[in-house]
C-alpha cells in the first residue's frame, strides 16, 4: 500500500513541480491509479530473453524484493503499550500482551540487521544485470553494485555516531536514548552524520541524483532493461520499499522515531492514545522523508559516474569517519 | 523440538548449497550457492541465540566479500570450468585433506558425546553485542589490534599494487634519477680534473 501510494504521490508531486497535472483519470484525483497499474503489470506478457541465464534471471527480482521487505520485522512502529493485566493466562502467554511492543521482532542488533539485509539486496541488482545477457543490463548491474558497495561504507560510518551516543544497536533502544538525551533528537548533535546518511541513502536506493544504474540517456533502463511485466513490477516495488526502509532508518536514528516531545504530558506514556498519536507521528515523519525524495528527484540533475565515485570515496567517507572520531572524543569527555 | 527441526532445515540447506557450490560448472552459480551457505549458517547462529554473529556473518561475508567475488566474475565473464587434465596429483591431495577433515569431524562428535551435558542458558548474553565488545576490548585486545594492523597493511598493499604513476610523475622520477647520475658523473669529472 505504501509503495502504491508513494508511486502515486511521486507522479503527482513531479507533476506539480513540472507544471503538469499528474494522473487524474482513475478514481477521484487518481487514487485508484496504482491498482490499475498493478493490474496492467500482471496482465502484460512476460518476456524472457532467449540467451538469459534462466534460473538466476528468475531469482534476481525475488532476491531484490525479499531483501527490501525483510527489514520491516525490526521497525519500531510505536511505543510499548501497557494494556489491562493479562498475566492470568498460563505459561506466561499474557506477558507479551500486557506490555505489547509495536515491533514484530525485538532483536538487540536491529541497526546491523537492517544494514545486513539491505547489503544483500545488491545481489538482486547485480544478478539481474548479469543474467539478462545484455550489455545495458550488465553495465547497469555493475554500476549499481559498485555504487552500493561504496556508499554502504559511508552509510555505516555515519550511523556509528548515533550508535555511540545511544550506546545500543537496538532500534527501540536508540529511540529511548533520544528521549532521555538533552537534545531530544540526535539530528542536533549528529548533524554531520545526518547529512552524510541522507546522501548515502539516496545513493543506496539508486535514486536521483545518483540513479546512474538506470540512466535512461545512456543505459536504456539499466539492470532491468530485459525485465517485463510482473518481474519488472517486483524490482519497481523493491526500489520503493527500499526508499521506505531508508526513511524509517533516518527517522529512527536522527528524528526520534515515534517520539513526540511533550506528548507524555497530555497522555500517559504506555496508554493506547499515546501509542496511536506516536504511531501517526512516526508515519508522518516517514512521509516527510518520502516527500523529500520526490522533491529532490524533481529538482536535481544526475551526477556523472566518476563524479559519483570520487564524491563517495574522497569526500563522503572521510567526512563520516571524521564525524566518528569527533563523536568518540566528545563522548569520552562527557563520560569522564 | 522446533529448534531441532529448524536446525536440520538450515543445516540441510547449507549442505545442499555447499555441494552445489563445489559441483557447479558455472563460477557464478558457485558464488550464489556460497551465499546460500552463508545465509543458512547465519540462520543457525540465530537459533543458537547469537544474533550479533548471525548479522555480522551476513553483513561481511554475504554483503561485502561475496559481492566483490560476483563483481569480479561478472567483469571477467569467466567461461565454464573445464575438467582439469593436468595437475592430476591434486585429486590425491584433496582426497587426503578430505579424509583428515572427516577424522576431525568424527573427533568432534566423539568429544561432544563425551562432554558433560550442560544445558545452555539462552538468557546469558554470550552472543550479544555488549559481551562481544567487552571481550574484544579487554581479554582479546592484542589479537584485535594485530588483526587491525594486518588489515591496514593489506589495504596499503592493495593501494600500492594498483597505483598507476601519472605520466608527469613518472617523468619527474626519471628526471631526478638522470640528474643524480649526471651529478655523479660531473663529480667524477671534477676529481679527475684536479
Query: What is the domain-level CATH number for residue B104?
Result: 1.20.120.1200
Pick the range with the lowest mean pLDDT from A20-24, A311-315, A319-323.
A20-24
Chain A / chain B CB contacts < 8 angstroms: 77
pLDDT of residue B150: 93
Residue partners of A177: CB distance under 8 A and separation at least 6:
A165, A166, A167, A168
Tell me whether the omega of the peptide bond preceding residue A209 falls within 30 degrees of 0, making it cis: yes
The residue with greater pLDDT, B57 or A78, is B57
**Does A328 reach chain B within 8 Å, measured CB to CB?**
no
On average, the pLDDT of chain A sits at: 76
Instruction: Kindly state whether residue B37 falls inside one of the protein's structural domains.
Output: yes
What's the rounded Cα separation, in Å, for the pair A184 and A163? Answer: 15
Strand partners, A82: A99
pLDDT tens-digit profile of A175-218?
A: 877 777 776 777 777 788 888 888 888 887 777 677 666 666 56
Backbone angles phi, psi at A100, to 5 degrees: -90, 110
Backbone angles phi, psi at A99, to 5 degrees: -115, 95
**Does A287 reach chain B within 8 Å, measured CB to CB?**
no
Mutate to test the interface with A, among B45, B55, B73, B76 (most CBs of A within 10 A): B55
CA distance B25 to chain A (A): 13
pLDDT tier at A95 (50, 70, 90 boundaries)? low
Instruction: Kindly state whether residue B96 falls inside one of the protein's structural domains.
Output: yes
Instruction: Kindly state whether residue B77 falls inside one of the protein's structural domains.
Output: yes
Instruction: Kindly state whether residue B62 falls inside one of the protein's structural domains.
Output: yes
Q: Tell me which residues of chain A, numbers 194 to 223, contact chain B at a CB-CB cutoff of 8 Å.
A: none
Range of the domain at B63: 1-124
Chain B CB contacts of A117 under 8 Å are 58
How far is C-alpha A86 from the chain's CA centre?
36
- The predicted model gives A142-156 an average pLDDT of 81
pLDDT of residue B146: 93
pLDDT of residue B103: 93
pLDDT of residue A93: 55
**Does A62 reach chain B within 8 Å, measured CB to CB?**
no
Residue partners of A306: CB distance under 8 A and separation at least 6:
none
Whether A233 and A62 have beta carbons less than 8 Å apart is answered as no
pLDDT of residue B168: 60
**Angle, alpha carbons A35-A41-A42 (nearest 5°):** 95
Whether residue B62 and residue A122 make contact (CB cut-off 8 A), yes or no, is: no
- DSSP one-letter string for B117-175: -----TTS-TTSHHHHHHHHHTTTHHHHHHHHHHHHHHHHHHHHHH----HHHHHHHHH
Whether A176 and A278 have beta carbons less than 8 Å apart is answered as no
Q: Tell me which residues of chain A, numbers 161 to 180, contact chain B at a CB-CB cutoff of 8 Å.
A: 169
Instruction: Kindly state whether residue B135 falls inside one of the protein's structural domains.
Output: no
pLDDT of residue A157: 84
What's the rounded Cα separation, in Å, for the pair B57 and B10? Answer: 15
Whether residue A108 and residue B67 make contact (CB cut-off 8 A), yes or no, is: no
Residues in chain B, overall count: 194
Enter the ipTM.
0.73
Could you read off the pLDDT tens digit of each residue along chain B, which spans 194 residues? 777 888 888 889 999 988 888 888 778 788 888 888 988 888 888 887 777 888 888 888 887 788 888 877 777 766 665 666 666 777 888 889 999 999 998 998 888 887 776 666 555 555 567 777 788 888 888 999 999 999 999 989 888 887 766 666 556 566 666 676 666 666 655 555 44
Minimum Cα–Cα distance from B55: chain A residue: A113
Pairing of strands A81-82, A99-100: antiparallel
If one counts every other C-beta atom within 10 angstroms of the C-beta of residue B16, the result is 14
What's the rounded Cα separation, in Å, for the pair B85 and B94? Answer: 16
Chain B CB contacts of A53 under 8 Å are 26, 28
What's the rounded Cα separation, in Å, for the pair A141 and A64? Answer: 13
What's the rounded Cα separation, in Å, for the pair A75 and A257? Answer: 10
**Does A120 reach chain B within 8 Å, measured CB to CB?**
yes
Instruction: Kindly state whether residue B163 falls inside one of the protein's structural domains.
Output: no
CA distance B181 to chain A (A): 38
CA distance A18 to chain B (A): 38
- The predicted model gives A48-70 an average pLDDT of 79
Q: Which of A4-18, A67-81, A314-328, B146-160 has the highest mean pLDDT?
A: B146-160
Residues in chain A, overall count: 336
Facing A122 at nearest CB: one of B29, B52, B67: B67
End-to-end CA distance of chain A: 49
pLDDT tier at A82 (50, 70, 90 boundaries)? low
Whether residue A112 and residue B59 make contact (CB cut-off 8 A), yes or no, is: yes
- The predicted model gives A263-279 an average pLDDT of 73
Whether residue B67 and residue A123 make contact (CB cut-off 8 A), yes or no, is: yes
Chain A CB contacts of B75 under 8 Å are 142
Q: For A158, how many CA atoms within 13 A lie in the half-sphere containing its CB?
A: 29
The residue with greater pLDDT, A247 or A273, is A247
Does position A331 have pLDDT exceeding 70, yes or no? yes
Q: Give Cα separations from B129 to A167, B46, B54, B126, B133 (angstroms).
A: 11, 13, 11, 9, 6
pLDDT of residue A168: 76
Instruction: Kindly state whether residue B74 falls inside one of the protein's structural domains.
Output: yes
Indicate the DSSP class of residue A190: T
pLDDT tens-digit profile of A122-132?
A: 888 878 877 77
What's the rounded Cα separation, in Å, for the pair A263 and A278? Answer: 8
pLDDT of residue B133: 79
What's the rounded Cα separation, in Å, for the pair B128 and A108? Answer: 8
CA distance A297 to chain B (A): 28
Whether residue A116 and residue B55 make contact (CB cut-off 8 A), yes or no, is: yes
Whether residue A145 and residue B71 make contact (CB cut-off 8 A), yes or no, is: yes
pLDDT tier at A164 (50, 70, 90 boundaries)? confident
Residue partners of B47: CB distance under 8 A and separation at least 6:
B3, B6, B7, B10
Instruction: Kindly state whether residue B184 falls inside one of the protein's structural domains.
Output: no
Report the number of distinct structural domains present in chain B.
Answer: 1
Whether residue A109 and residue B59 make contact (CB cut-off 8 A), yes or no, is: no
Residue partners of A125: CB distance under 8 A and separation at least 6:
A60, A64, A140, A141, A144, A145, A148, A206, A213, A223
Amino acid at each position: 500500500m505504501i509503495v502504491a501510494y508513494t508511486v502515486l504521490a511521486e507522479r503527482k508531486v513531479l507533476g506539480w513541480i513540472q507544471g503538469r497535472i499528474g494522473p487524474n483519470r482513475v478514481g477521484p484525483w487518481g487514487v485508484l491509479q496504482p491498482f490499475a497499474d498493478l493490474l496492467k503489470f500482471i496482465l502484460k506478457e512476460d518476456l524472457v530473453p532467449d540467451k538469459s541465464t534462466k534460473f538466476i534471471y528468475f531469482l534476481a527480482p525475488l532476491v531484490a524484493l525479499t531483501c527490501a521487505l525483510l527489514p520491516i520485522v525490526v521497525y519500531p512502529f510505536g511505543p510499548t503499550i501497557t494494556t489491562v493485566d493479562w498475566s492470568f493466562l498460563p505459561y506466561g502467554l499474557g506477558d507479551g500482551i500486557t506490555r505489547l511492543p509495536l515491533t514484530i521482532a525485538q532483536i538487540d542488533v536491529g541497526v546491523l540487521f537492517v544494514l545486513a539485509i539491505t547489503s544483500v539486496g545488491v545481489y538482486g541488482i547485480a544478478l539481474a544485470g548479469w543474467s539478462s545477457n545484455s550489455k545495458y543490463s550488465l553495465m547497469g548491474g555493475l554500476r549499481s553494485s559498485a555504487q552500493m558497495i561504496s556508499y554502504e561504507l559511508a552509510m555505516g560510518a555515519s550511523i556509528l555516531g548515533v550508535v555511540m551516543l545511544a550506546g545500543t544497536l537496538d532500534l527501540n533502544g536508540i529511540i529511548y536514548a533520544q528521549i532521555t538525551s538533552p537534545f531530544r533528537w540526535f539530528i542536533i548533535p549528529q548533524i554531520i552524520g545526518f547529512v552524510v546518511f541522507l546522501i548515502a541513502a539516496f545513493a543506496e536506493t539508486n535514486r536521483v541524483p545518483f540513479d546512474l544504474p538506470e540512466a535512461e540517456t545512456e543505459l536504456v533502463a539499466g539492470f532491468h532493461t530485459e525485465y517485463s511485466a510482473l518481474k519488472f513490477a517486483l524490482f519497481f516495488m523493491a526500489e520503493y520499499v527500499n526508499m521506505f526502509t531508508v526513511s524509517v532508518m533516518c527517522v529512527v536514528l536522527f528524528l526520534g522515531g515515534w517520539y513526540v516531545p511533550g506528548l507524555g504530558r497530555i497522555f500517559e506514556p504506555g496508554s493506547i492514545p499515546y501509542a496511536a498519536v506516536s504511531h501517526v507521528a512516526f508515519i508522518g515523519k516517514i512521509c516527510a522523508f518520502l516527500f523529500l525524495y520526490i522533491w529532490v528527484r524533481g529538482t536535481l540533475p544526475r551526477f556523472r559516474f566518476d563524479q559519483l565515485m570520487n564524491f563517495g570515496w574522497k569526500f563522503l567517507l572521510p567526512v563520516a569517519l571524521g564525524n566518528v572520531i569527533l563523536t568518540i572524543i566528545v563522548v569520552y569527555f562527557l563520560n569522564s | 523440538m522446533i529448534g531441532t527441526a529448524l536446525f536440520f532445515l538450515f543445516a540441510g540447506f547449507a549442505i545442499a548449497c555447499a555441494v552445489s557450490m563445489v559441483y557447479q560448472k558455472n563460477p557464478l552459480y558457485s558464488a550464489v550457492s556460497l551465499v546460500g551457505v552463508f545465509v543458512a549458517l547465519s540462520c543457525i547462529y540465530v537459533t543458537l541465540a547469537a544474533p550479533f554473529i548471525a548479522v555480522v556473518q551476513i553483513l561481511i561475508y554475504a554483503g561485502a566479500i561475496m559481492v566483490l567475488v560476483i563483481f569480479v566474475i561478472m567483469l571477467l565473464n569467466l567461461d565454464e570450468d573445464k575438467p582439469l587434465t593436468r595437475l592430476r596429483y591434486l585429486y590425491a591431495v584433496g582426497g587426503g585433506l578430505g579424509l583428515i577433515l572427516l577424522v576431525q569431524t568424527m573427533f568432534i562428535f566423539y568429544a561432544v558425546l563425551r562432554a558433560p551435558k550442560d544445558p545452555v542458558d539462552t538468557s546469558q548474553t554470550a552472543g550479544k553485542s555488549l559481551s562481544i565488545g567487552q571481550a574484544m576490548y579487554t581479554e582479546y585486545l592484542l589479537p584485535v589490534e594485530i588483526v587491525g594492523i594486518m588489515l591496514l597493511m593489506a589495504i596499503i598493499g592493495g593501494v600500492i599494487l594498483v597505483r598507476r604513476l601519472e605520466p608527469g610523475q613518472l617523468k619527474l622520477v626519471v628526471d631526478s634519477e638522470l640528474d643524480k647520475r649526471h651529478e655523479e658523473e660531473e663529480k667524477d669529472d671534477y676529481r679527475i680534473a684536479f
